[in-house]
A and B are shown apart, each in its own frame.
Chain A
Amino acid sequence: MPQMDHAQFEALWQRAKAQPLARRTTSAPVQPDLSLTGIVNHYMTMAALQREWGKLTQQDYNDLEAAVNTLKIVLARINDSELVAEAAARNATAIQAKFARPAS
């Protein structure tokens, strides 16, 4: 723990008196792909690992992949990612309104 001299304490004291919250977070927000396309992509990655470990047969994997590819054609046509992003933005607004506190 580095010690500070009196001049450094005075500077810290004045800053703390003027603004109690000295520093805000600068971390980047987490933006996972929550579209159905993104989810099935993650799902197929997991299924490939299960096939390698012998938990899933090659035939089952092939059937699963064919079904997913058919689904992806439809998802691409309806622009699945944009639909989910719009829904997420609406939900975020509703959540902020729910937990918003009046300014003190």
Chain B
Amino acid sequence: MTQINLAQAAAASATVADIKIEEIVLGGVTIGQLTLENTSLDLNSGSAALDSVRIVLTLDFQFDWWINLGFWSDSGSADLGTMSFAIDLGNVSIPSLGNIPLSVPNIALASLNAAFAPISSIDLGGGNLAGIAASNITLPKNGFSLSGLGIGAITIGGFQVPEATAAQVSIQEFRPNASLVLPQATLGPIQIPQASAADVQTTAPVSFTGSASQQALSLSLGVLGGTINVTPTAYISIGTLQLQGVALTGSVAQAILQNIGVPVDIRGFSLNSIDIAGITANNITG
């Protein structure tokens, strides 16, 4: 048997009449960055149950005084001290809530329109071809005739064929080394359908502090007078806070997906009726 090895071959040009791809398998999509712009969430309804509500109400008193006798006057401020009251409210039920920001882990979105930026300069970084088969190759295209020559072994430095044809070339699988990268995709506006969340319950007591504006009570007796200033502060503790029947709606003005990577596996890649012009092969051994 005589084997011919082509160390290097090049074709000046080629045309393919028909390209068929049976299947393109997309792998797991990776998204470099997802940006949600102008997201608004509204709590439509819900109730709250607060257990073991306690309040410590603290009143801070300060007295600003003055004396004016004409030939002598004086003024000053005196800290009158603090009064604290312990108030146990027990369990409190709030029938309806509103405007509470919540985070819902999963929201299903449907019927979204996606606008993808044009893809240019695709570089798959090489790949692996498997199961390549070419049939009915005619080389050269117009044929040649040779008679009365027998060859046991041959080495040819190079040859050129002006034109060749192949009836069919099929490639069983083509797997590029690099993922297909989509530079950017924009979604939106997105209307989030109403979603129900399970009851939300705190795992630890909740404590917070609120202070009202200072209240003043003034008194003037002509030659003397003063103002009593009171600053109330409430220290509140809730043993357990439970949100019930939470329903959430909202919208996202725009979602931007950047650097989307898609692994590609192309299978059943076939080329039919190929014309190759100007084939050059070097270092042929046989």
Which positions in A face B, CB cutoff 8 Å? 1-6, 8-10, 12-13, 15-17, 20-27, 30, 32, 39, 42-43, 45-46
Contact = CB atoms under 8 A, between A and B. Distances in A.
B84 A9 contact: no
B144 interface: no
B54 A24 contact: no
A16 B77 CA distance: 26
B133 to A, nearest CB: 74
B72 A42 contact: yes
Contacts of A9: 54, 56, 207, 235, 237
B77 to A, nearest CB: 8
Given A1-B210, A5-B207, A22-B58, A12 B235 contact: yes
Given A2-B209, A9-B237, A15 B84 contact: yes
Contacts of A20: 83-86
Given A6-B207, A9-B237, A13-B56, A27 B79 contact: yes
A86 to B, nearest CB: 21
Contacts of A21: 81-84
A23 B82 contact: yes
Contact of B86 (A1, A4, A8, A16): A16
A15 B236 CA distance: 15
27 contacts: A1-B209, A1-B233, A2-B209, A4-B207, A4-B209, A5-B207, A6-B205, A6-B237, A10-B237, A12-B84, A13-B56, A13-B86, A13-B237, A16-B84, A20-B86, A21-B81, A21-B84, A27-B77, A30-B65, A30-B76, A32-B67, A32-B74, A39-B71, A39-B72, A42-B69, A42-B71, A42-B72
Given A42-B71, A43-B71, A25 B237 contact: no
B56 A23 contact: no
